[in-house]
Structures are given as C-alpha cells and as structure tokens.
Amino acid sequence: MTLTDLETWLRETSPARLEELWAETDRVRAQNVGDEIHLRGLLEISNFCVRSCGYCGLRRERKITRYRMSWPEVLECARQAVEYGYGTVVLQAGEDYGLRREPLAEVIQRLKAETPLAVTLSLGERPEEDLLAWREAGADRYLLRFETSDRKLYERIHPLRAGQERSDRLALLRRLREMGYEIGGGVMIGLPGQTYASLANDLALFGELDLDMIGVGPWIAHPETPLGAGKAQAGQPALPAGEQAPNTEDMTYRVVALARIVCPQANLPTTTALATLNKATGRELGLARGANVVMPNLTPVKYRALYEIYPEKDCVNETAEACRLCLSGRIHEMGRTVGKGPGNRHR
C-alpha cells in the first residue's frame, strides 16, 4: 500500500468501504498468522521512571507512590504465567535504573532455565551494555514504541532534562534486531498535533522496519500530564500543519487493520488502551480487525493502580486469575483458539 492509500483509508467515511477493510484485514490475519490468539502475561515490574514524556502518568515529575517489585515476586508471577498456559511473560517498567543490569540478567537466566516462557522486555531506552547483557541472558524480544514518526512532534512530547541526550528510537530498534531480539514498535493514535499524513507515515515505517510486533492504541488524555491538561510545553517547536487525527476507537481499528496489511506476519496485540475506550467489545473488535495477541495483566493487584499510565485503565481491579478466565471465554466465543507455545513471529 502506498502512503496515499494508507491516508485514504485513515480518512475513509463510507461504512460499506470500511466493512471491506475489516474483511480484508481479517483474511490477511487468518492466512498469515492463523486463528490462534497468543496470550502474553504482562508484569508491570516498576513504575519508577527517569523520563518526562508529556503524555505519560508515570513521568518523573508526578508525585505518585512508586514501587519496584522484588525479584522473588517477579519469579513467582512468572510461574503463574506458566500455570495459566501463557507462552510469554512481558517485563515492563518505566525507564528505571533501579532495575540494574546484573540482577535482571540473573532473573532472565532463571526464567529461561526454569520455565518454557519466552521473555519480552519493555524497559525503555536502556544503554547498549544492558540490552546486550539481557539478550545474552536469554531475553527473546524487546518492545519500544517509537510513538510517532514525526520528528518535531516526537521532540515536542519528549522533553529532555539537562544531561539527557536525544535518543533515536528507530536506530535503537535496528540495533536490538542486530542483537538478535525480535523487535516491537508502535505508536499512539490521536496525539495532539498528529495528522492523518503522519499516521500514514507511521504505518509505512512499520513495514520498512519489518517489525515483529506492533502495539498501537489511542492516546488517552491524562489530566495530570502536560499533554492531557492541554498545556503547551515551554520551548517546544511548533506543531506540524495538517488535520488532526482523532484519538478515537474507530481510528484505532483502522490503524490496527492497516498495520496487519502492512506487516502480515507480525504479532499484533489488541491493546489495553483500546479496551479502555470500549470495555465491552473493544478487544474483540481489535481481534476481528487484524490483531492476534492479547496481553493479560499479571501484575499483583496491590501494584496495579499505581501503574497509571493513563486514567480508567481497564482491568485495574481484576486479579490475574479473573483476566485469564475472562479472556479465554471471550476468545472461545469468537471461534478463535488460545495459542500454545511461545508464539514467535511467523515467517
């Protein structure tokens, strides 16, 4: 698909044409990754963060209760993933240097030695030595959304403090691939200042990077962040010109559907942010429109509410067990099956 085609689909208003898009993406999904839905147990292991992302509720300026799970807790929750039949555990956190290289490498080693789990990391822009050590310890995959392909918009929503350097997430993703990780990228949809053309570019970039995993979801305004409060950040470059893309459920389905068509073999989750906009059927519609992965939350309930990236996050009060039962029910009702094994990228 060309950039023009992508943008045309993002702007399509005819319900009949959109039905064609949903049918096409579902066909491409079935043909390339089949009917299995892979479950990745998500462990939010720390909400400390050194960054000040303008959209994120974990940004370092927020005075919230911070937690870091202990390593025995992490191992215990990962064992629960095995018990639940999940093939992957995702260790996610803010960019937290309290999660030190060596102890985490040891935990990864133990997970790989003692369980059949694939291990996915989502820990921000860590230095090369950390990423290499964790890969050597056995980590399989790394998630790092690039958030937007629009350089100016990216810089506007990622302010730097003194001493912090501007990183290049695209270069980092390519580096991660060289290290042997499966790589995951993605964007938020409807960021203030994000145009239709820019979203079309994001989609084209998924294809260029040949991403193994793609995570997309609507931007959800967090009132205690600069973006969510509608405050322009001082000293930031002007917004790009063009029509604002909406942060709606409908726009999210379009991006999910097009991402599947651009990267037919990628693993594509239906995200919690989407489920947050439509708690009743958002997940199912994502899965019917290109997605083949769900990431049930495994984080102990006492920590869940503290991992408040955005407000009203789905499943904040459900236990890991409740999410497991809820999801397997939903999947079977859709006539799909729960994937077995690690669910690596299809080739």
Under the binding rule (CB under 6 A), the answer on residue 322 touching ligand FES is yes
Could you say which DSSP state residue 290 is in?
T
One of 153, 315, 328, 336 touching ligand FES (CB under 6 A): 315
Nearer of residues 236 and 319 to ligand FES, judged by Cβ: 319
Q: What 3-state class would DSSP assign to 186?
A: strand
Under the binding rule (CB under 6 A), the answer on residue 334 touching ligand FES is no
One-letter amino acid for residue 63 of the chain: K
Q: Which does 112 bind (CB under 5 to 8 A by kind): ligand FES, ligand 5AD, none?
A: none
Q: How far is the CB of 322 from ligand FES (least distance, A)?
A: 5
∠ CA 173-134-126, rounded to 5°: 50
Longest Cα separation, the chain: 55
Stretch that binds ligand FES, among 171-179, 216-224, 251-259, 318-326 (CB under 6 A): 318-326
One-letter amino acid for residue 250 of the chain: D
Stretch that binds ligand FES, among 180-188, 234-242, 258-266, 314-322 (CB under 6 A): 314-322
Question: What count of other Cβ atoms lies within 10 Å of the Cβ of residue 81?
Answer: 25
Nearer of residues 183 and 188 to ligand 5AD, judged by Cβ: 188
280 in Cβ contact with 321 (< 8 Å): no
**Residue of closest CB approach to ligand FES:** 326
C-alpha pair distances (Å), 112 with each of 15, 105, 109, 346: 47, 11, 5, 21
Q: Which does 309 bind (CB under 5 to 8 A by kind): ligand FES, ligand 5AD, none?
A: ligand 5AD
Nearer of residues 147 and 314 to ligand FES, judged by Cβ: 314
What is the C-alpha to C-alpha distance for residues 136 and 50, in angstroms, rounded to an integer?
A: 25
Q: What 3-state class would DSSP assign to 37?
A: strand
Residues that bind ligand 5AD (CB under 6 A): 55-56, 145, 147, 188, 217, 219-220, 222, 273, 309-310
Residue 147 backbone phi and psi in degrees, to 5: 70, -40
One-letter amino acid for residue 56 of the chain: C
Under the binding rule (CB under 6 A), the answer on residue 327 touching ligand FES is yes
Tokens of 266: 């990628």
Residue 76: in which H helix or E strand, if any? helix 71-83
Enumerate residues 268-297 that contact ligand FES by CB under 6 A: 296
Could you say which DSSP state residue 94 is in?
S
Q: Which does 56 bind (CB under 5 to 8 A by kind): ligand FES, ligand 5AD, none?
A: ligand 5AD
Stretch that binds ligand FES, among 5-13, 16-24, 250-258, 316-324 (CB under 6 A): 316-324
* Residue labelled with tokens 């369980």: 115
Cα-Cα-Cα-Cα dihedral sign, residues 73, 74, 77, 83: negative
Q: How far is the CB of 150 from ligand 5AD (least distance, A)?
A: 14
One of 25, 323, 331, 343 touching ligand FES (CB under 6 A): 323
Nearer of residues 306 and 316 to ligand FES, judged by Cβ: 316
Q: Which does 327 bind (CB under 5 to 8 A by kind): ligand FES, ligand 5AD, none?
A: ligand FES
Length reported for the chain: 347
For ligand FES, the binding residues (CB under 6 A) are 296, 315, 318, 322-323, 326-327
